[in-house]
Structure 1
Amino acid sequence: MVIAEQAQAAGDTPALLSDRECFSFRQLAERANRYARWALDQGLRVDGTICLLMPNRPEYMAIWLGITQVGGVVALLNTNLTNAALAHCIKIADPKHVIVAAELLEAFGQAASHLDGAVPLSVHGATPGMQDDGFTRIDLEIERYGGEELAASERRDVSLSQRALCIYTSGTTGLPKAANVSHHRIMSWSYWFAGMMDARASDRMYNCLPMYHSIGGVVATGSLLVAGGSVVIKEKFSARSFWDDIVAFDCSLFQYIGELCRYLINSPASESVREHRLRLCCGNGLRADVWNGFKERFRIPQILEFYAATEGNFSLYNLEGKPGAIGRIPPFMAHGFPAAIVKFDIETSEPARDEHGFCVRCSRGEVGEAIGKISADGSNPANRFEGYTSSEDTEKKILRNVFAEGDSWLRTGDLMRQDEMGFFYFVDRVGDTFRWKGENVATVEVSEAISSCPGVVEANAYGVAVPGTEGRAGMAALVVDTSFDLVALRAHLTERLADYARPLFLRIGTELEITETFKQKKHNLVREGFDPAIVSDRLYFDHPQLRAYVPLDAALYELIKAGTLRL
């Protein structure tokens, strides 16, 4: 409805732009209506799911806007996943149909062999030599449908509380989970961020973040569209072309993750940087040591750092621009704020409880897990937890009897601290999952991929801190037999894992430390890291230039530590 209203008000004003195509608000609305009618023609029921596997492009928005306006749910698949990992994401969505971009058809085909049965497939576009293997070309098929505004009978009775999207998140442990995202949540994110950024019709957002994530796919796009502004969609981030794009597309806003800002600082800027008109950069994960350098070197008037999660039920905003802080709740507002930081037991990876069985709030400056209060009656949409497609996964995220009998709070899986002024600071992820290159990496998935390689007896994956980088890099401790081959392992992992999930470091020893219940211990491995002066096991590094695991000695360690080697 919002896009239809903007189409009437803004008409031919650009809504979505890219190197390959541009949609005005009117064209976007018409395109979405065609996809809506196509979905109805497929017999898609309300709450029926369609999976979408497509790189960033304006068409991406048109597809999910159209399908969701008639009550369908669109599951946004990660384009980096392959084989069993991609198949897992498709399975848990339980789709009635899958839409795949032609260039990702091979990846889908590899995943399809892991599915229990065939799923109706439509392909968007074509690639040279592509064989018609019984699927339909949806980009051609939708031209049969009209683009005029949907009639009331076509819209069905779709409420704000109904699901619109499934967005995948690794959570704190295990394989990706599909988080339910309602129409209300999409609208809330869009209007809230539009207000936070003071988005205007004259603004143009530069969005190079993956559209299968909530920030790139909903926040960056929705906040500008509801304000009547436009969004420049790039398929991938490129430090080399970034400033040329910013100037060429006349962008005033940039949606970042912290790692992108670090890349820009460490890259030579083009002459175009002097001509940019960026007035605000909005995002998360910008480290304090990168913040000021980024702001000053590139003359950025304002940085808006925030904290939020796809499935989360509270958000934080750093409106004051304090470097390193993810948000602030002034002390006088703290009592009524629906979030808390509670003491955390690092050994059990669970919040600590007192002698009465209740959680304990952290003191100012103390590190603990952040949790958000779930509305008892669901009356406050902002504090709802919409859960995952799996009820079991949903229940695992909920803490009960936290501060009183019968209350419920949502675990964020994030360790934080709060200072005396009310500023919050992100410290680390709880549990095994870590972030690298802006993506969540599930150690269970990595360990299983390594363990399936011939010659590997046992594997334990984890993340380690690397000086000068965001998040943690992947590392794995291995026990191997005489048939093990490093070259074969790298090829094996390249086929099964996204680049960001493949371990950057390996340590090969004779045994792995386990608990009395045979669970692998990671704490000591993480603490020792990849320093050859500390680790007695054989160490290897996935060299970016050589594209091979090479022995990690003291000299190479110093190069990595100094940031000489770009990871």
Structure 2
Amino acid sequence: MPSAKDKVLMGLGGAAGAGILAWRTMFPWLGYDLELMKAGKKTTAEISSDIQNRRFAIDMFEEQAANYPLDTMLIFENRTYSYQFMNTQACKVANIAMTWGLPQGSTVAIIFENEPAFIWTFLGLLKLGLGVAFINNNVRSRPLVHSITVSDAKALITGSGDVLHGAIQEIKNNLDIPIFMSGLSPEDADSTCQSWDDLMFRSPENDICRTVRDSLTILSPCIYIYTSGTTGLPKPAIVNIAKGVGFSKFILFSGMKKGDIIYTTTPLYHSAAVLALFCVMNTGATMLLRRKFSATHYWADCREHGVTIAQYIGEICRYLLAVPKDPQDGVHKIRNMIGNGLRKDIWLEFQQRFKIPKIIEFFGATEGTSAMININGRLGACGRVSPLLNKLTPSKTFIVKYNPETEQPYRNKQGFCEECKIGEAGILIAGIPIIYAQGFYKGGKEVNEKKTLRNVFEKGDAYFNFGDLLYKDSDHFLYFKDRVGDTFRWKGENVSTNEVANVLTGLDFIQDANVYGVQIPGQDGRAGMAGILLKDGVEFTDDMLAKIYQHCQRNLPNYARPVFLRFIKEMALTVTFKQRKVEAVKEGFDPAKVSDPLFSISAKDKTYVPLTMDTLPQILQSKL
């Protein structure tokens, strides 16, 4: 028989259960919140503990190297790299960099393809408390010079290979910092480029005492990851030490732990790969890294190496579905896949064909002040923002009404923004915590102010503007709708229309270029299209097409090169002398709607070829 005390406790428990049941009846979405809060409880506690105990990203790595030296940290091209080996290489890097005498917080830029040297070079610089600028290895010419100089880098370390060597040789005279080049023999070194391999060969393996980093704070720089915005040139988004600690916990939502193997095919300079790398260092897990994504080898890689967690971006999933079906499609050890950009139209097909137990979709931005995640499995959703979650987070998130004419948030008569209703698409904004005291980007007040929305709901408040259109359903799940303004997404990258236009107008026969993104049936994102206005008195000739192709190939990364060209007779402008894009976007590349000459890119012919009603079906079937 239960005692009187037990009866009281049983009564209280029953009352609490009835209370929760009543709340769930009133707010049927509450169960989704509770599931997310349970999953995030450990993550939140670990972030707080690590910051308080100064267990930063580099400390996590050194901890794993000390406690589990022979465990595998990295698998690359069928070779395994232990934590001990990676630490030894990182120590060599640190001992080289120590001779430069750079103050803590200084920046060193690195440009590598996906390879182990990228990681140990980065870790070696972190050992000294230096910030590291991750340069996109696809960038060339002026944008490459800009990326390096805007970071205020005091030195540049490059990877090996003719492609990277050629890119650096082209711009080295525009840099006034020392350049250290991998794959360069001492005999081929000169006053502008030194042999990094020679320095690594001669560098001692002595470890660096962590007390060297005692002066670091949570606001000290860790990484600069580049993003493309309306300024037209890459901007270095600040990932400070506090944000780095947050990065190290994010994939814990997937249940990642020691013994897991996570598969990363995105570039290491991309924030998606950084999330994986930092979570590997935090847990002591293993990363399977590929130099470049391959749809035909993807599942074989997963089976061969026992992958348990896989990353994706939406385009990766679509490419995998495009591969012919195979009886072994669902043969793997993957527990879940985590990433962003998986569209609703292929979500279920992808999950069922490849037998993925769970898909975890998230939404965020490298420079963003908040991130949303869908651990509940809601089809097509990229996260949650409910009234309860907004009460608990330090960075409250809202979707506000949007004015498509001004491409800015709508303001009411009082001058304030208004929240969107359920199902209504609007601009996503989020509060700005103290860790963003130095801004979202390196580069001063002006570039940061463009992403800051002020006097939103009351005078004096401030929010980060994601520049994306999203909407919520009745259960407060979020869904991505589109991008706002002068940036669109193609092949998983943000493309700046201004950057592309500036490159095109570098040709002596082009007066102006109106660049925008157009939708292609069955493709994620928007493909680049450029309305070309020739200079007065210049007549169109076929050789212009090859010149445009070659010029874009030299000066733009692959994803930013226009897929379509439209030769226009005059530039359509608004009353404020801004290029009109709305009508052009609606017309797209449809020859039935566009009377101007149209052309599409041809990698095979290394030029642009005529786009007509007759050639349109063939172009749509191609890989573009």
Q: What is the TM-score of this pair, normalised by structure 2?
A: 0.85
CA distance in 1, matches of 2:355, 2:458: 49
User: Which AA in structure 1 matches 2:239?
Assistant: V
2:73: which partner in 1? 15
Report deviation, 1:334. Answer: 4.2
Query: How far apart are the structure 2 equivalents of 1:523 and 1:256?
Result: 31
Query: Does residue 1:41 correspond to 2:99, yes or no?
Result: yes
Deviations 1:292-314 (A, max 9, x none): 11111111111110011111111
What's the counterpart of residue 478 of structure 2?
Answer: 424
Hey, what does 2:286 align to over in structure 1? 230
Aligned match of 2:48: none
- Residue 508 of structure 1, aligned match among 559, 567, 571: 567
| Distance (whole Å) between structure 2 residues aligned to residue 286 and residue 221 of structure 1 | 21
Query: Which AA in structure 2 matches 1:208?
Result: T
| Map 1:166-245 → 2, pairs under 5 A | 166-193=224-251, 195-216=252-273, 218-245=274-301
Match of 1:443 in 2: 497
Using the TM superposition, name which of 536-545 and 505-514 deviates more. Answer: 536-545
| Structure 1 CA distance for aligned equivalents of residues 438 and 351 of structure 2 | 35
- Give the equivalent residue in structure 2 for 1:72: 130
From the two aligned structures, give the one with the greater helix fraction. Answer: 2
Label 1:514 to 1:431 Cα distance change in 2 as closer, same or farther (>3 A). Answer: same
Structure 2 distance, partners of 1:171, 1:458, is: 20
Structure 2 Cα separation of the partners of residues 240 and 270 of structure 1: 11
| C-alpha distance 432-305 of structure 1, shift in aligned 2 (>3 A) | same
Q: Aligned pair in 2 of structure 1 residues 272, 331: CA closer, same or farther (>3 Å)?
A: same
Candidates 553, 559, 563, aligned match of 2:612: 553
User: Would you say the 8 A contact 2:189–2:195 is kept in 1?
Assistant: no
For the pair 1:322 / 2:396, whether they are aligned, the reply is no
CA distance in 1, matches of 2:438, 2:389: 22
SS, match of residue 90 in structure 1: helix
Partner residue, 1:86: 144
Which of 441, 465, 473 lines up with 1:388 in the alignment?
A: 441
What's the CA shift for 1:84?
A: 0.8
Letter aligned with residue 494 of structure 2? N
Instruction: Please report how far the alpha carbon of residue 171 of structure 1 lies from its aligned counterpart in structure 2 after TM superposition.
Output: 3.0
Contact 1:247/1:272, CA 8 A, preserved across alignment: no
1:109 aligns with 2:169: yes
Matched position secondary structure for 1:289: helix
Within 1, Cα distance between the matches of 2:87 and 2:242? 20
Shift of residue 192, structure 1, vs aligned partner: 2.9
Out of 181, 202, 225, the residue aligned to residue 123 of structure 1 is 181
Q: For the residues of structure 2 that align with 1:189 and 1:257, how far apart are their CA atoms?
A: 17
Once residues 158 and 89 of structure 1 are traced to their aligned partners in structure 2, the CA distance between those partners, rounded to angstroms, is 25
- Kept after mapping to 1: 8 A contact 2:93/2:200: yes
Evaluate the alpha carbon distance shift between residue 152 and residue 306 of structure 1 in structure 2; reply closer, same or farther with a 3 A threshold.
closer
* Corresponding residue to 1:132 among 180, 189, 205: 189
Which segments of 5 or more consecutive residues in structure 1 lack a partner in the other structure?
A: none
3-state SS of 1:22 partner: strand
Q: What is the one-letter code of the residue matched to 2:107? A: T
Q: Using the TM superposition, give the Cα deviation of residue 211 of structure 1 relative to its aligned residue in structure 2, in angstroms.
A: 0.7
Is the counterpart of residue 342 in structure 1 residue 342 in structure 2? Answer: no
The answer to whether the 8 Å contact 2:222/2:241 transfers is: yes
What's the secondary structure of 2:614's corresponding residue? helix
**Partner Cα separation in structure 1 for residue 194 and residue 266 of structure 2:** 29
Query: TM-score w.r.t. structure 1 length?
Result: 0.94
Q: Are residues 209 and 73 of structure 1, via their aligned partners in 2, closer, same or farther at CA, if it must alter by over 3 Å?
A: same
Deviations 1:224-262 (A, max 9, x none): 221111001111101122122112222111111000110
The whole-number CA distance in structure 2 between the counterparts of 1:386 and 1:286 is 30
Q: Report deviation, 1:100.
A: 0.8
Give 1:494 shift.
1.3
1:81-105 CA deviation, whole Å, 9 max, x = no partner?
1111111111101111000112212
Q: Deviations over 1:348-368 (max 9, x none)?
A: 121111111111111111111
Contact 2:566 2:598 in 1 (8 A): yes
Amino acid at match of 2:261: R
Deviation at 1:332, TM superposition (A): 3.7
Identity of aligned residues (%): 36
CA contact (8 A) 1:173 1:431 kept: no
Letter in 2 for 1:531: D
**Deviation (angstroms), 1:331:** 4.6
Contact 2:230 2:498 in 1 (8 A): no
Q: Choose from 519, 524, 527 the match for 1:465.
A: 519
Matched, 1:276 2:332: yes
The change in CA–CA distance for 1:6 and 1:295 in structure 2 (over 3 A counts) is: same
The aligned amino acid for 1:541 is S
> Counterpart of 1:507 in structure 2: which amino acid?
R
The one of 260, 264, 273 aligned to 2:320 = 264
> Residue 130 and residue 261 in structure 1: after superposition, are their counterparts in 2 closer, same or farther (change >3 A)?
farther
Given that 2:230 and 2:497 are in contact with CA atoms closer than 8 Å, whether structure 1 keeps it comes out as no
Deviation at 1:50, TM superposition (A): 0.8
Q: Which amino acid aligns with 1:214?
A: S
Which aligned pairs between 1:350-361 and structure 2 lie closer than 5 A? Answer: 350-361=408-419
Alpha-carbon distance between aligned partners in 1 of 2:437 and 2:309, rounded to the nearest angstrom = 30
- What is the total number of aligned residue pairs between the two structures? 555
Q: Does 1:398 align with 2:452?
A: yes
Partner of 1:58: 116
8 Å CA contact 1:306–1:315 kept in 2: the answer is: yes
2:584 matches 1:525 = yes
* Unpaired segments ≥5 residues, structure 2: 1-58
Question: How far apart are the structure 1 equivalents of 2:334 and 2:268?
Answer: 22
CA 1:141–1:20: 2 relative to 1, 3 Å:
farther
Residue in structure 1 matching 2:357, options 286, 301, 326? 301
Cα deviation for residue 51 of structure 1 reads 0.7
The alpha-carbon deviation at position 519 of structure 1 amounts to 1.7
Q: Structure 1: how far apart are the matches of 2:326 and 2:305?
A: 15
Q: Which has the larger radius of gyration?
A: 2
Which deviates further from its counterpart, 22-31 or 147-156? Answer: 147-156
**In the TM superposition, what is the alpha-carbon distance from 1:149 to its structure 2 partner?**
3.4
Could you tell me how far apart the structure 1 residues matched to 2:108 and 2:98 are?
12
Change (3 A) 1:349 1:385: farther
